[in-house]
Amino acid sequence: MLSLPQYLLPEGMTEMVFLLLMATSFAGSLITVAFGIGGGGVLLAVMATLVPPAALIPTHGVIQIGSNLGRALVTFRHIFWPALPAFAIGSVIGAGLGGAVAINLPPEWVQIGVGSFVIWSVLGKPPRDVRDWPVLVGAVSSFLTMFFGATGLFVAIFTKSQRLPRHDHVATHAALMTVQHGIKTLAFGLLGFAFAEWWPFIGAMIAAGFCGTLVGKTLLNRLDDRRFRLALDAVLILLSLRLIWGGLRQLFASG
């Protein structure tokens, strides 16, 4: 039977849960390579059922830094740099405002919020006319990401508004999300989240995600995009409904 080093496992995490999360990180990066978005939402939805709520958003953020940074480096020459400065300023503002509230958010509301946000990401239609709002997009998305983690869809609408070629879109979105998750992680560190216990786990998740990126580059061009997107949306919605149900049960039980 496979036995993992104990230093890889945060307190209370079983080997089975660890391996499942590694597989999800691999699959999430593979999905993102194919469609430019979606993998972070899948990872967040699965982590939310297996990781303590207080650690969910901070650890997911660091893992997403690794995922997006790797993608940004691979496509570095395609990054549309003018989109970054104002977005980064807005991200600092949004993370600062959201951080003061997120630390004190009850666990059941985290679950309900994450589930609702992922469903909105799948079914909703964020505003499209955001080309000239980089500070506002950075502030709003970073405020939301302090609570819900995966705001890539919202940021992707801003990136799309720049009317960039495909490779430039993927590269710029990756760079914007690296900035946002980096600022968020710094904010959680300043607010007192103890990352030390989670670093080995986070490192393993980033490594698994990088492997998913490499495999995805060679395999995903063969998939049927329409069917895969339908399956992905179905999985996201089912996981989100499970999260909302679990949060509501806790909320009513505590009430």
Give the model confidence (pLDDT) of 134-177 as tens digits: 888 888 888 877 777 667 767 877 887 788 887 788 889 889 99
pLDDT for the residue numbered 157:
72
pLDDT for the residue numbered 238:
81
Give the model confidence (pLDDT) of 171-200 as tens digits: 898 899 999 999 988 888 887 888 888 999
Identify the segments of the chain with pLDDT beneath 50. Answer: none
pLDDT for the residue numbered 87:
94
pLDDT for the residue numbered 103:
58
What does the chain come to in residues? 255
**pTM attached to this predicted model:** 0.76
Task: Kindly list the domain boundaries of the chain, sorted by start residue.
Answer: 13-254
Q: Around Cβ 68, how many Cβ atoms within 10 Å?
A: 26
pLDDT for the residue numbered 208:
92
pLDDT for the residue numbered 129:
61
